[in-house]
Chain A
Amino acid sequence: MKKTYKIDVDCAVCADKMEQAAKKTEGVKDCVVNFMTLKMKVEFEDGADMAAVMDRVRANCKKAEADCEVFI
């Protein structure tokens, strides 16, 4: 299951940090953050609770880069 979310972030390095943080989140199989289109494409593990996973993704992203937002 793949889903795309809008994000807000200021720099390309920060976007990469978000990608790394999201990838390490439990329940996320893979993640690509596109800085130019400000979108995050998340591939979930089978059977993962998407809402819960995305909450964790947002929390982890904020930890990695204080000034970012994931619009769930």
Chain B
Amino acid sequence: MNKKQKNLLIRIIIAAVFFVPLYLISEGIIQTGFPKWLILVLFLIPYLTVGYDILRKAALGIKNKQVFDENFLMTIATIGAIVLGEYGEGVAVMLLYQVGELFQSYAVGKSRRNITELMDIRPDYANIEVDGELEQVDPEEVEVGSIIVVQPGEKVPLDGVIIEGKTAMNTSALTGESKPVDVEEGQTVLSGSINMTGVLKIRTTTEFDESTASKILDLVENASSRKSKSENFISKFARVYTPIVVYCALALAILPPLFVMITKVGMGNYETVGKLWMDWVLRACTFLVISCPCAVVISVPLSFFAGIGGASKQGILVKGSNYLETLSEVRVVAFDKTGTITKGNFEVTAIHHSPLEERTMLEYAALAECHSSHPISLSLQQAYAGKLDQSRVTDVEEISGHGIIAKVDGHDIAIGNEKMMTKVGVEFHPCSHVGTIIHMSLDGAYAGHIVISDELKPSSREAITALKKAGVEKVVMLTGDAKSVTEKVAAEVGVSDYRAELLPADKVNVVETLLAECIGRKRLAFVGDGINDAPVLSRADIGIAMGALGSDAAIEAADIVLMDDDPIKIPKAIRISRKCLGIVKQNIVFALAVKVICLVLAALGLANMWVAIIADVGVMILAVLNAIRCLFVSKL
């Protein structure tokens, strides 16, 4: 609790201590024989103790021509009640109103802190080695290219490359993935991850403002500034609701008693004209108590803030409340294939028709290709995984569009596609597998072929199934890849609709067509890996970039960024958004319903001030507690 809240709490306690015996006295439960004026004076002690700031703000509001604020309403309602002789009610309303304010302030402050902590990946300091000793400095002061030391248990303050040491790294703050990642010399580490086991020396590659941690923080902190339709609706609603209720209260205080006086209908229910007016003015005061729209107004942004906070803990960054809202209405999901459904790195998946041992064949292939930087040669080297002695390779000749001819250990090797085999005059076996086929010949004889293909991500299939379960009606796969490859991948993950051999511009056209098919409140999400698909990401209703850590263009273009590249996070994000929006709707409907019912009851004279204030504060507390539920999304 902060100072303001503690202060209010003390005032509430003091007022309550005074209030309870006074109330019993005024209701005649304790017989004292105090005159009425004394009871009034005594009641003013708790009233002013707990409510003086409200009275002050109301006065200031009138001075600044801001009449319709809740301070003014509470002041009029409570003073009205006291003037009419309902001392107990008047003071109780002020007391309970302040209890509500305290709770609201505490709950909002607490969740604000919780959520901020949850997203807190801001590094506090960086260690720099000066004369053999470590010195802590502000990460903002560290220049690019400096060497920093990160000890076990510390946060990596700036992005950089490890120059010494290896460790297990906890990247959960960035990716939501709790399994540690092993890193060693030469690898890049991102700020915001936590070093778990070993001491690291890192050469920084970014300034603080450009580092991953800063960028993510910036993104998340600005997220709830983009307001959703629900938030805009509710603040517009609040602007008209209060004045309307005040005018209704005014009408309620004047019109019915006038009507009764003129027509004499129902006058029999009242002893005197004074009593008639008192009754209706009191009803009007009750009206004013209900006119504060705080419960809904606070719960809506709180729900979104909590939802965005909860999602970011899961490695899902939502760039605004409005996107969370749109995401909950997604019915069509278009995927880019490479890098989202598949891993996007090409691996050796099979070796066929080789008279040599597979390992030997791979060795020759890797050696022949070892001078090339083509992705294929990298996959070959990766598959071989052993050390390659480049001096064994001589007379390398790269024939563009065909492959490579080289001498390895004195053997003539030709490696490449079918054209290459035809060129060197070697008969080859065509392959039935889908993927890139690398044929090899050894000393003029066919030595088999290697199949290199992109692998599916392990969770792709599950993700597609979960999407359909989450109410997504249509899943489409878009790719620039060959039709045969696409067909196979589509079948494996369970997508029936796919478009192959698309150029980047075609993807935009396909998404346009799909968008045109979305009628009503159906929304389309496009999922890409951020490479070449920025235009599509921004064209779709919701652009989701995955595995986008480090890709600025994708973070810029996308509305939702998945920190790791696990497609299962997509249905999860949708479920989080649905839960959040569900809670927002519950709160709006519940709070408004209670208010309307109370207003009707108050107008009919069936609800007194006690009911009004308890309904008001109670609804607020329930709405706030319900809103905080948005934070708990890890099990969704």
Contacts and interface: CB of A to CB of B under 8 A. Distances in A.
A41 B225 contact: yes
A63 B112 CA distance: 26
A45 interface: no
A72 interface: no
Contacts of B115: 36
A37 B224 contact: yes
Interface in B99-126: 101, 104-105, 108, 112, 115-116
A66 B57 contact: yes
Given A12-B297, A67-B57, A34 B224 contact: yes
Nearest to B242: A13
Given A12-B294, A16-B238, A35-B301, A66 B225 contact: no
Contacts of B298: 11-12
A32 interface: yes
B224 A13 contact: no
Contacts, number: 65
B293 interface: yes
A71 to B, nearest CB: 16
Contacts of B302: 36
B60 interface: yes
Contact of A63 (B66, B116, B297, B304): B66
A63 B101 CA distance: 21
A14 B227 CA distance: 16
Chain B CB within 10 Å — which of A35, A39, A64 has the most? A35
B105 A10 contact: yes
A17 interface: yes
A67 B294 CA distance: 16
Given A39-B221, A64-B64, 14 more contacts: A11-B70, A11-B104, A11-B294, A13-B69, A13-B294, A17-B66, A34-B225, A34-B301, A41-B225, A63-B64, A66-B56, A66-B57, A66-B60, A66-B64
21 contacts: A10-B105, A11-B294, A12-B297, A12-B300, A12-B301, A13-B238, A13-B297, A16-B238, A35-B301, A36-B112, A36-B115, A36-B224, A36-B302, A36-B304, A37-B221, A37-B225, A37-B305, A64-B66, A65-B66, A66-B56, A66-B64
B61 A66 contact: yes
Contacts of A41: 222, 225
Contact of B301 (A14, A36, A66): A36
A63 B123 CA distance: 38
A32 B224 CA distance: 10
Contacts of A66: 56-57, 60-61, 64
Interface of B: 56-57, 60-61, 64, 66, 69-70, 101, 104-105, 108, 112, 115-116, 221-222, 224-225, 227, 235, 238-239, 293-294, 297-298, 300-302, 304-305
Task: Tell me which of A10, A14, A32, A66 has the highest count of chain B C-beta atoms within 10 A of its own C-beta.
Answer: A66
A64 B61 CA distance: 8
B504 to A, nearest CB: 31
Contacts of A11: 70, 101, 104, 294, 297-298
A13 B64 contact: no
Contacts of B304: 36
Interface of A: 10-14, 16-17, 32, 34-39, 41, 63-67
Contacts of B108: 36
Nearest to A20: B239
Given A11-B294, A12-B294, A13-B294, A36 B60 contact: no
A36 B221 CA distance: 10
Contacts of B294: 11-13
A64 B64 CA distance: 7
Contacts of B221: 37, 39
Which 5 A-B pairs give the minimum distances between C-beta atoms? A36-B305, A66-B60, A12-B297, A63-B64, A12-B298
A16 B234 CA distance: 10
Nearest to B222: A41
A26 to B, nearest CB: 18
A17 B225 CA distance: 15
Contacts of B300: 12
Contacts of B224: 34, 36-37
A16 B64 contact: no
B19 to A, nearest CB: 24
Nearest to A67: B57
Given A11-B294, A12-B301, A16-B238, A32 B227 contact: yes
Contacts of A17: 66, 69
A16 B238 CA distance: 9
Q: Which residue, B101, B105, B222, B300, has most C-beta atoms of chain A within 10 A? A: B222
A34 B115 CA distance: 15
B611 to A, nearest CB: 23
A8 to B, nearest CB: 10
A35 B61 CA distance: 21
A13 B293 contact: yes
Nearest to A16: B235
B64 A39 contact: no
A63 B304 CA distance: 29
A26 B227 CA distance: 23
A35 B298 CA distance: 9
A37 B104 CA distance: 15
B338 to A, nearest CB: 36
A48 to B, nearest CB: 21
Nearest to B304: A36
A70 to B, nearest CB: 16
A17 B224 CA distance: 17
B219 to A, nearest CB: 12
Nearest to B293: A13
A25 to B, nearest CB: 15
Nearest to B66: A64
B66 A39 contact: no
Nearest to B61: A66
Contacts of A39: 221, 225
Contacts of A34: 224-225, 301
A41 B225 CA distance: 8
Nearest to B299: A12
B624 to A, nearest CB: 11
Contacts of B239: 16
Contacts of B60: 66
Residue in A11, A13, A38, A41 with the greatest tally of chain B CB atoms within 10 Å = A13
